[in-house]
Structure 1
Amino acid sequence: MRFRVAASLAALVLLVILVQSGSMVLLLHEKEEEFIEKQLGDQIEHSMALFRRSPEATLPSTPAMWLYRVGQGEPGDEVPPMFRGLAVGNHEVYLGSKEYHVAVREDERARYILAYDVEDHESRLDNLMLVTVSAALALALLTLVAGYVLAGRLTGRLERLVGRVEQEAPGPLAEAGMERELLALAEALEKYRERQRLTLEQERAFAANLSHELRTPLTGIRTDAEMLAALPDMPEAAVRRGRRIMASVDHINRLASSLLLLAREAKPAQLEEIRLQPMIESVWASLLLISPKPVALHLEIPAGSTLHADPTLFELVLRNVLDNALRYSETGEVVCRLSDSRLTVRDTGPGFAEGDLERVFDRFFVGRRGVHGLGLALVRHVCTASGWRVSARNASGGGGEITLDFGQSLLRS
């Protein structure tokens, strides 16, 4: 911003100087032309009058001006061809890059041609233009430096304000001595920050209350289902339904916990070394209890691979990623592959629409594959808090692919 302000000011100064100088040079050029025309006219009239009085008088001839007189009926071979055919009047003749002003007159005795080389005049104009442009550039450069320094002083408070907003520094953003416009911005940011804080507190309170209110009836439902499934002589179909009810209740509890986690700042609590293979197999088995499908899990993970992370957060991420893959796979295999620090989970579903890839991690985003809900939004939330990266793309062989990059958190035995 400082450089743009300084550059804009320097460009404006340069433009003004060039326009003003250009106008002055054009005016000076017109005045020079008028002076040359008057000088030519006076000189040729003087030479004609002198010749009438004294025909033997010498014609004017200097390095810049010379006069030709051609008597009536004479061929005028001494006149250069470029001047010979000119009509009576004043002319500008160019020979290459050289410019000549020529005055042609006639009387009853002879024809007079006065040529004037205006190179000195053009040279003075060129030098003036060069000096003007050089001075304009020097002044523009000086303005650029001075403008940069002055803009730095003017934007210093703005930069400090931006730093305090980015670092979420406590205390009021408005400072004594701020310029009126900057003070208005600081006060607006303070109001926005307060509204955001109140909104977050309300959202967190609502999520906490909702999670608490749901747990009591869900606990009763799960207890009843567990007792029914444990009754003797209970049909196998009823036992399976009881287990499915318990798994569904557990899923709702996890969803409530996810809502609560999204409303709060997900910070890793206790870091442990987690063995990847057993964790993935355990989570997959629990997902099949809720949604039994003829879909197999294929692991391409080196034995003994471990991750240094919070077990609760990692299980949450893993569960949502595998649940997403299972949801869109009807047959075949869900492939989990570990390469370097990246864990890739590929399903056999229809894949993502190319326009949806940037938004699949948004809450309740509706795309070609339906409503994505909170699962992938929660995955991104936890990954950001844990220092991981998550991305989505379409696999080359078909299906969607979610990649978790653990960076330095991944360990190998």
Structure 2
Amino acid sequence: MAWVTSWRWAERARSLRWRVAAALAALALLTILAQSLTWLWLLERQEDAFINQQLHEQMAHSMALWREHPEAALPNSPAMWLYREPFRPSSQRVEAPPQFAHLPVGDHEVFIGSHEYHVLVRADAQARYILVYDVEDHEFRLNRLFWSTLAAALLLALTTLGAGYWLAGRLTRRLGGLAEAVEREVPEALADPAMEREVLALAEAFDRQRNRQREAMARERAFAANLSHELRTPLTAIRTDAELLSQLPDLPAAVARRGARIVAGVDRINSLAASLLLLAREARPGERLPLALAGLLDEVWQRSLDAVPAGLPVPQLENAVAVDCQLLADPALFELVLRNIFDNALRYSADGTVRCWLADDELAVQDSGPGFAADELGHVFDRFYIGRRGLHGLGLALVRHVSQACGWQVTAENAATGGGLIRLRFAPGDLTIPSHTVD
């Protein structure tokens, strides 16, 4: 629990609202402490001056009174004592305690244990006078005032902290609303003339950035659409001519192979153009229908095998998904995701096995290839990433693009038993798994 508490405090310390409140509380605490300590220092100086004045007046009065009336009683109270030591033997002699008797003529501060004493020593032609004052009550009052002031300062700081946190929350509420609007991609302008000047500047900067991004996306989509359209006509003509050429009678086998290679190359270019067009567009799922997942896996796998050139080794599909599992999804988009995952598995599995199974809300597809390079796992879904094992292409980039549009999560890893493993986690409620599903 200690690390959870420290994490929460660390998160709170990074909050602008909390920092504003803490700064106000610290400023209030420092201000009241500085002011209070200054007042206490001035009060102590004034009270010391008052005590010294009273002692001087008492000493002068006692010395004058003794000269006129030697039999007069000396002042003796719980906090003040006067000791009189005549230079000649006398019955009025009152000797001071040893800790005060040795003090020379003058004003002194004497500390005995935790007690502080102010001591005045005077002398005339007849005697030596020692006036002692215990300032314990004075120090007690000052200490009580100090702790009362400190408690009041802490209470004020806590009050300021709460008030500052509430006030900072009101001031930063627009920032939170602005962040939420950016996250939800609200189409309306974010700037509002009623906003505070600093928040308005930030909102206007967001609006300008969003406009630039929209313009760039529009240009990219227009370019991809135009490129796809312009390429389609000549590529269709090339493919048609290649098909007709390969169907001529008495055609040499080498020429027929080249014709088939041309057709396959044109199909690959068309597929690449379609992928680029889909990536440029904002993929949005249409009508979601219940799909029989196991049967759809077999169908898409078979279509992927049909695209493999004749004579090349092909792996086997091990479909461990229960027949009555149903997925609620856009059929076209999900088939696109499956086809690209299977194409990636076919590329690396040779004549091995490709396994499919379900675990909770997750579809796993494992090939029997060498797996992903450890340092390239973070780039598996990047477009045209060139790693140590060659160009990744657009297939898995399309998988991630469509998955994000459908609310799914796709990840790649290396299986413990060997081979690459693609995990596709569906959104909650999309997948219906019967209790007897095989993992």
Range class of TM-score, shorter chain? 0.7 to 0.9
Name the structure 2 match of 1:346: 366
Correspondences of 1:181-260 after superposition (within 5 Å): 181-232=198-249, 242-260=259-277
Quick one: distance in 2 between partners of 1:359 and 1:331? 26
Quick one: distance in 1 between partners of 2:267 and 2:247? 18
**In structure 2, the residue corresponding to 1:363 is in which secondary structure?**
coil
Instruction: Give unmatched runs, 5+ long, in structure 2.
Output: 1-15, 435-439
1:275 aligned onto 2:293:
yes
Q: Give the letter aligned to residue 33 of structure 2.
A: L
Q: Give the letter aligned to residue 383 of structure 2.
A: R
Correspondences of 1:9-408 after superposition (within 5 Å): 9-40=24-55, 43=58, 47=62, 56-68=71-83, 90-93=108-111, 95=113, 98-103=114-119, 105=121, 107=123, 114-144=131-161, 146-147=163-164, 150-151=167-168, 154-155=171-172, 157-232=174-249, 242-272=259-289, 273-276=291-294, 277-286=297-306, 288-289=308-309, 292=312, 296-327=316-347, 332-347=352-367, 348-353=369-374, 356-367=376-387, 369-407=389-427, 408=429
Q: Quick check: 344-353 or 44-53, which moved more? A: 44-53
CA displacement at 1:207 relative to structure 2: 0.8
CA displacement at 1:21 relative to structure 2: 1.9
CA displacement at 1:205 relative to structure 2: 0.6
Classify 1:298/1:66 alpha carbon distance in 2 versus 1 (closer, same or farther; 3 Å). Answer: farther
Classify 1:33/1:381 alpha carbon distance in 2 versus 1 (closer, same or farther; 3 Å). Answer: farther
Quick one: distance in 2 between partners of 1:144 and 1:52? 65
**In structure 2, the residue corresponding to 1:307 is in which secondary structure?**
strand
Q: Give the letter aligned to residue 309 of structure 1.
A: A
**In structure 2, the residue corresponding to 1:289 is in which secondary structure?**
coil
Q: Quick check: 132-141 or 381-390, which moved more? A: 132-141
Q: Deviations over 1:363-391 (max 9, x none)?
A: 34455555433333221211111121112
Kept in 1: contact 2:103–2:121 (CA 8 A): no
Quick one: distance in 1 between partners of 2:110 and 2:389? 80
Name the structure 1 match of 2:432: 411
CA displacement at 1:263 relative to structure 2: 1.3
Classify 1:78/1:367 alpha carbon distance in 2 versus 1 (closer, same or farther; 3 Å). Answer: farther
Kept in 2: contact 1:391–1:403 (CA 8 A): yes
Quick one: distance in 2 between partners of 1:291 and 1:51? 134
Kept in 1: contact 2:362–2:426 (CA 8 A): yes
Quick one: distance in 2 between partners of 1:290 and 1:24? 97
CA displacement at 1:121 relative to structure 2: 2.1
Q: Deviations over 1:279-322 (max 9, x none)?
A: 45225414643994565544443344342222221122123233
**In structure 1, the residue corresponding to 2:282 is in which secondary structure?**
coil
Classify 1:116/1:268 alpha carbon distance in 2 versus 1 (closer, same or farther; 3 Å). Answer: same
Q: Percent identity?
A: 53
Kept in 2: contact 1:100–1:115 (CA 8 A): no
Quick one: distance in 1 between partners of 2:310 and 2:40? 88
**In structure 1, the residue corresponding to 2:372 is in which secondary structure?**
coil
Quick one: distance in 2 between partners of 1:397 and 1:109? 112
